[in-house]
Amino acid sequence: MQARMGNPAVVIPEAMQALHALGTLPAKSGLSPILLELVNLRASQINGCSVCIDGHPRIAKKAGETDERLFAVSAWRDTPYFTPAERAALALTEAVTRVSDRTDPVPDDIWDEATRHFDGKSMAALVIAIANINVWNRLNVATRQIAGEWKP
């Protein structure tokens, strides 16, 4: 397997700086690093981004996440391992990641459940985190970046 090109954010350093800056905002807002990694992993699973599916569990484990929960992220609805806030964040992640799959991409029930667990600033940070991982997924998938080459 070979990448089509270097990651565009590496090829254009200004893009890396911008994406990195955007990526630091959700944690600075107070969102849990583990929650952010669950979001990153779920969006990456949906988008088929092998680089992020390989890398984000490593980051989550360094933050204290368990294998049991990481293995269950793709089936979060059917496992007892996630808090109501994590479930709301994962549902929002799926909706925002799959915007073309339904006529109402982010239904009110999903949004409203998330707002029960996250205040205005946290919701903004969560939406930014979801958008940011989707950008990384699309850069990696489009250019066929190779899983395992990024070792966070």
Span 32-52, pLDDT tens digits: 999 999 999 999 999 999 999
* CATH number of the domain bearing residue 42: 1.20.1290.10
Residue 149 forms part of a structural domain: no
Nearest to 43 by CA among 84, 86, 95, 1: 95
Confidence band of 151 (pLDDT split at 50, 70, 90)? confident
Per-residue model confidence (pLDDT) at position 26: 97
Over the chain, what is the mean pLDDT? 97
Nearest to 3 by CA among 138, 145, 140, 142: 145
Q: What domain range includes position 80?
A: 35-143
Q: Which two tokens stand for residue 20?
A: 């990195």
Q: At residue 1, does pLDDT exceed 90?
A: no
The 8-class DSSP code of residue 54 comes to: H
Residue 18 forms part of a structural domain: no
